[in-house]
Amino acid sequence: ESLDHDACYDRSHAVAAAEEARADRASDDVASWATFGVIGVATGATAYAIGRAVDALDDARFAAVRARLDGGGDGALARAYIVYLAICLACGLCATLVVHFGETTAAGSGIPEGKGYLNGVNYTRFLSARAGLAKAVGIIFAVCSGLVIGREGPLVHIGAVLGNVAAALPGLNKLADCAAAARARAAPRS
């Protein structure tokens, strides 16, 4: 199933758009920019939280390794390596389990799926809050496991999820709702 993103351009729509008052368009623009601002701030805050969580888990991992090395003695290096390897494997397993049992649409970077969605392919649950949460938690554990991945690609998917969630919030679109109600009241009744 695909999504229909094509806008309908015909003479009646062009005439209706031309008759729309400038103040109405301005209030719609303000509502759109407010929504975009909230989405941007939420995505930035999520990126910051993911970065702090990765730093905290990395600090805990290296503290555990340092504790094995500081003990000294025979085999301290081997014990430290085994602890490091075990923590990395546990983080990788946690990332896998979160995605597998949490939300399978959170697998991968999210950029190819996002491009597909924008081109009209409807991925079920791709923009759900559950997918965003699974992606955020999964990326924390995946980066801490030492896998060669970054946070940038998954943040595109997380930002799209936050945008989808924000678009569904009734309070966030209050300006647009108020503008639409004012236009409806001002419209001549037939």
113-154 per-position pLDDT tens digit: 888 888 888 888 888 999 999 999 999 999 999 988 888 889
Q: What is the pLDDT of residue 149?
A: 86
Task: Say yes or no to pLDDT of 2 above 60.
Answer: no
Banded pLDDT at 20 (limits 50, 70, 90) = low
Q: What is the pLDDT of residue 187?
A: 60
Banded pLDDT at 179 (limits 50, 70, 90) = low
CA 148 to chain centroid: 20
- Cα–Cα dist 57/76, whole Å: 22
- Cα–Cα dist 82/37, whole Å: 46
Q: Look up residue 42 and give its two tokens.
A: 């939420």
- In angstroms, what is the C-alpha Rg of the chain? 24
Dihedral (C-alpha) 100, 104, 108, 109: value to the nearest 10 degrees?
A: -120
Q: What is the pLDDT of residue 71?
A: 75
Interval 25-64: pLDDT, tens: 666 677 778 888 888 999 999 999 999 999 999 999 999 9
Q: Quote the pTM value.
A: 0.75
Residue with tokens 């094995």: 68
- Exposure letters 132-154 (e unless 16+ CB within 10 A, then b): bbbbbbbbbbbbbbbeeeebebb
Q: Are the CB atoms for 132 and 165 separated by under 8 Å?
A: yes
Task: Say yes or no to pLDDT of 183 above 70.
Answer: no
